[in-house]
Amino acid sequence: MAFEDLKIEVSRIADKIEDSATSKMTAICELLRERIEYYDWVGFYMANHEKRTLHLEAFAGEPTDHTVIPFGKGICGQVAESNANFVVPDVKAQDNYIACSITVKSEIVIPLFKDGKNIGQIDIDSSHVDPFTKDDEDFLEFVNVQVAALL
């Protein structure tokens, strides 16, 4: 899997004029899940700052009960408050982890910024322990720039 090739495909999806932002986000989730072997669940959560909650906007993978997450709760909720990337090599080592599936072993969450404000995030779950690298972080930051331009 080459992140550079995927960047081209993500940009093509983002550039489709006829699709809505949500359908483009879903297509990006599906692309990443299909093409990156250790991305087992991919989703975008969008922030509601008034209610201090994250809301699942688009995803690919098994459905989740975690469609609304309070700021501060779980990895996603922590990223909503910290505005920083969060890579969890082994979810068993995290006290504030929300279990979505017994198969999840690791997670990466990258905040999504628009005009300097954290408006959401991309969340990736993996059934592998410690698969995420700096290359994943850089690639997902690129993906979020593309998504922010849609919103």
Q: Is 119 helix (H, G, I), strand (E, B) or coil?
A: strand
The DSSP bridge partners found for residue 88 are 107
Domain 3-150 fold? Beta-Lactamase (3.30.450)
Under 8 Å between Cβ of 100 and 41 = yes
pLDDT over 70 at 97, yes or no:
no
Retrieve residue 82's tokens. 């910290």
Residue 90 confidence (pLDDT): 87
SS3 label, residue 9: helix
The pTM for the full model equals: 0.94
- In this predicted model, what pLDDT tens digit does every residue of 7-32 receive, in sequence order? 999 999 999 888 899 999 999 999 99
Angle, helix 3-15 to helix 134-150, in steps of 10 degrees: 10
pLDDT band at 98 (very low <50, low <70, confident <90, very high): low
Query: Residues 55-62: what's their mean pLDDT?
Result: 97
Question: Residue ranges per domain, the chain?
Answer: 3-150
For residues 126-141, average pLDDT? 97
